[in-house]
Amino acid sequence: MTALDQRLVVVAYSWADGRPRLRVRPPDAVSTVVDAPGFRLHYRVDADPVWHCPGRIPFRSGRGDYVDCLNRPQPGGRTCVDCAVAEATLAGSLHHAHVRSADELDAAVDEHLRQPNILYLAGFGDGSIKVGTSTAERASKRLLEQGALAAAVVAKTDDGIVVRRAEDLVTERLGIPQSVGAARKLRGLVTPMSHDHLWARLEAAREAVHDLVDREAPTGVTPTLEPWVNPDHRRIRDEKLFAYPADLRRDAHRLTIDYVVGRLAVAVGTGGDRFVIDVGRIFGLELEVGDFDPVEITVQDSLF
């Protein structure tokens, strides 16, 4: 941003190259990608906030492109009609592919699914565990995107249809969910469980998944065990973090991002306190950039 760029819209995170970036743009122009660590969230929000559609990531092999959108969101929503339809189409085509017939699938989706996939268990700081899937080559990036602190790849398959059926089987039979909410992830950064206890939970879940696979013998699923640990896990465990007590969508703020865990960021405030913030809450919100006097806050050891 230059001295003349007084308005900013943050529209997305990107872990495309395994490093945390933010996608930002002026209100009336296309976005650029900047490093998240060191990025200054020094801004204030208008009394009557202005929202913009944050755009979308289209489905293609590799999923590397981004579609900027200069439309306003539909009333009561975060995206415009075009982006909402595109996202719903992707969800229907890709995420529900395993319950559709082959002739219903888009050619690009079908090609994407015809490659090695993994089934993983991801653990978060509060002890929550979820089951998920990824192409084999994107496994580490996927776990970084989701903000897992530790994980285990528990099975491999030859294609994305089989792995999604295995994922549903794990949820149905073992009760392991396929998502963990941002609030629980944030709580896990403020008051993280010890690594040993988190890994013990992952190991128990891994044994249950392997027992299920042995009993059900789903075709094309090979049990495996490949542990994964977030590079910032020790740092998160050892330092004192606070949940940011103010609403990022109103008033003025002066925060500088230090590092990122999934879509959550650890940011430093004016007094040196280190806060966990969910930058996703301001995706699409028009910000007036500047060193304004920040809203007064009261630091508490835990807001949960």
Higher per-residue confidence, 301 vs 63 = 301
How confident is residue 224, by pLDDT bands cut at 50, 70 and 90? very high
The alpha carbon of residue 303 and the mean position of all alpha carbons in its chain are separated, in whole angstroms, by: 22
Q: What residues does each domain of the chain span?
A: 7-77+239-289, 115-230
Residues with Cβ < 8 Å from 63, sequence gap 6 or more? 57
Q: Are 152 and 202 within 8 A, CB to CB?
A: yes
Q: What's the pLDDT score for residue 112? A: 65
User: In angstroms, rounded to a whole number, what is the distance separating the alpha carbons of residues 48 and 74?
Assistant: 17
- The dihedral formed by the CA atoms of 67, 73, 79 and 85, expressed in degrees to the nearest 10: -90
What ranges in the chain are assigned the alpha helix state H?
Answer: 81-90, 107-113, 139-146, 160-174, 182-190, 195-216, 233-238
pTM (whole model) above 0.85? yes
Q: What's the pLDDT score for residue 219? A: 87
pLDDT in tens, 98-150: 555 555 556 666 666 778 999 999 999 999 999 999 998 889 999 999 999 99
Structure tokens at 110: 């079908």
Angle subtended by helix axes 160-174 and 195-216, to nearest 10: 110
How confident is residue 60, by pLDDT bands cut at 50, 70 and 90? low
Look at residue 94 and tell me whether its pLDDT is greater than 90.
no
Residues with Cβ < 8 Å from 231, sequence gap 6 or more? none
| Across 244-248, average pLDDT | 96
pLDDT in tens, 227-242: 999 998 888 888 889 9
